[in-house]
Amino acid sequence: MSGSLSLGKVLGIPIRLHTTWFIIAVLVTVSLATGLFPSRYDGWSRATYWLVGGVTAILFFASVLLHELGHSVLALREKVPVKNITLFVFGGVAQIGSEPPTAGSEFRIAVAGPLVSFALSGIFALLGAVTRAAEVVSAPLAYLAQINLILGAFNLIPGFPLDGGRVLRALLWKTGGNFQTATKWASRAGQLVAFGFILYGIAQFFFGGGLVGGLWYVFIGWFLNNAAQSSYQQVVLRDTLSGVKARSVMTQQCQTVPTGVRLDRLVEENILGQGQRCFFVADGGDLRGLITLHNIRRVAPGQRSELTADQVMTPADAVYAVHPEDDVMAVLQKMDESDVNQVPVVEGGRLLGLITRESLLHDIRLRAELAV
């Protein structure tokens, strides 16, 4: 979800707006202002159609946000951390920091979102009935009642990672007692649902259902299939790295160079000559910083003879470091969040080694092949 704009926090949860959200926001507004409302309600001015369409689109995405907040509030009650909620082209997603601890927790968190949508549908329907005499008010309320009902029902489709797929995983987990196996079958159900959407979208092309509508179903299916696959792979990854400590995967191949070494010499002798990609920068045995290819690429080749390692390095106090007993899965998550490719392993101020993304992925592949 890179490329997201921060909208602040609700209940302490960061709310983000992904740039792709603007695409669907415009499409929803246009479809309401030029299609749905003009076909159902005559006599409005053009400005009214656009104003009501825009307000309705905003309220629709507010409903999506409340749906995700429903999940998030229950997750927090179940002691599951929530990193953020992001609205994007396919709706919204609440990113939790860990898997639910029990099948019951998974079930309660999963059903919370659809229950919020059904409740909103009822509220909007009631308000629409009360304001029926004023079409400009009742029209968007009727639409919001319908769309929230659809949103709740759609999310209960039993295909992971939809809410219904999570409910299915909770039931399989409860009956079978194995979280990974439950995730495997729920993900396969999600892939079947995804292929169903793709086939339906393709059918729209050939049987006159419309190019745009068919393409939208194909995109939804593609997204669900990728999400189902990646969700199961993440669970397998967690299982593979369970109990593995940073000490077990660190490497000591990262060379230490003095602060005054010139960049051109570093590139010629160490990077091109020896294939090294990162270096600890030290002064008299004290760690001063870390320099990587990322740091060096920022300097034009013609200027590398004029600069030294300490002038382009990342200072030691700005380098994210891990303890040798830290769980590798937590380390990998931190690397992703910080967008770094390597982290030093430090204990008591003493440098023990380095964990690189390349070496970590290599270790993961070996453990997966050996089922260690």
From residue 81, alpha-carbon distances to 15, 30, 74, 94, 147 in Å are 14, 37, 10, 10, 29
* Segments of the chain assigned E as strands: 4-10, 13-18, 82-88, 91-96, 255-258, 278-283, 286-292, 314-315, 342-347, 350-356
pTM of the model: 0.74
Q: Which tokens sit at 19? A: 């740039």
CA dihedral for 19, 22, 25, 31, sign (positive or negative): negative
**Percent of the chain at pLDDT exceeding 70:** 93
DSSP character for 307? -
Query: Rounded mean pLDDT of 77-86?
Result: 88
Residue 371 has pLDDT above 70, yes or no: no
Q: How many distinct helices (H) and strands (E) make up the chain? A: 15, 10
Amino acid 253: pLDDT: 62
Q: How far apart are CA 172 and CA 219, in angstroms?
A: 28
The pLDDT of residue 93: 85
In the chain, the percentage of residues whose pLDDT exceeds 90 is 30
Q: Give the per-residue pLDDT at 107.
A: 94
Burial 331-364 (b: 16+ CB within 10 A, else e): bbeebeeeebbbbbbbeeeebbbbbbeebbeebb
* Model confidence band, residue 207 (pLDDT cutoffs 50, 70, 90): confident
Task: List the chain domain ranges.
Answer: 4-240, 246-370
Per annotation, catalytic residue among 68, 99, 135, 358: 68
144 compared with 19, residue with greater pLDDT: 144
Q: 366 pLDDT exceeds 70?
A: yes
pLDDT of residue 302: 82
The reported pLDDT for the residue numbered 136 is 92
Residue 308 has pLDDT above 90, yes or no: no
pLDDT in tens, 271-302: 787 767 778 787 766 677 888 777 888 888 88
Give the H/E segment covering residue 167.
helix 163-176
Q: What is the pLDDT of residues 309-324, one digit of tens each?
A: 888 887 877 777 788 8
Lowest mean pLDDT among 71-75, 252-256, 329-333: 252-256
Angle, vertex CA 333, rays to CA 170 and CA 327, nearest 5: 85
Report which of 13, 131, 22, 158 is spatially closest to residue 72, judged by C-alpha positions. Answer: 13
Q: Can you give the pLDDT at residue 132?
A: 87
pLDDT value of residue 210:
65
Confidence of residue 50 (pLDDT cuts 50, 70, 90): very high
- Mean pLDDT along residues 119-132: 94
The Cβ of residue 255 has, within 10 Å, a number of other Cβ atoms equal to: 12
Q: Six-digit token pair at 336?
A: 């992703």
Question: What confidence score (pLDDT) does residue 303 get?
Answer: 84
Identify the residue with better confidence: 369 or 94. Answer: 94
Task: Give dist(CA 298, CA 311) in Å, integer.
Answer: 12
- Strand ranges across the sheet with 4-10: 4-10, 13-18, 82-88, 91-96
Identify the residue whose tokens are 């008591």: 348
The pLDDT value given to residue 241:
75
At 55 the pLDDT is 94
Token pair listed for 245 = 């400590």
Specify the pLDDT at position 296: 84
Give residue 150's pLDDT band: very low, low, confident or very high (50, 70, 90): very high
pLDDT > 80? residue 64: yes
Residue given tokens 């196996």 in the structure block: 181
pLDDT score of 218: 87
CA–CA separation, 319 and 343 (whole Å): 7
Residue 368 has pLDDT above 70, yes or no: no
Give me the pLDDT at residue 242, please: 75
Active site residue 68: yes
CA 172 – CA 180 distance, rounded (Å) = 10
Q: Which residue has the higher pLDDT, 352 or 101?
A: 101
Amino acid at 319: V
Query: Which two three-digit tokens encode residue 269?
Result: 């002798």
Q: Which residues of 196-214 are buried (b: 16+ CB within 10 A; e: fewer)?
A: ebbebbbebeeeeeeeeeb
Question: What is the topology classification, in CATH, of domain 246-370?
Answer: CBS-domain (3.10.580)
What is the spatial distance between Cα 249 and Cα 328, in angstroms, rounded to a whole number?
Answer: 8
Cβ distance 369 to 245 under 8 Å? Answer: no
Least trusted range by pLDDT, from 39-48, 247-256, 300-309:
247-256
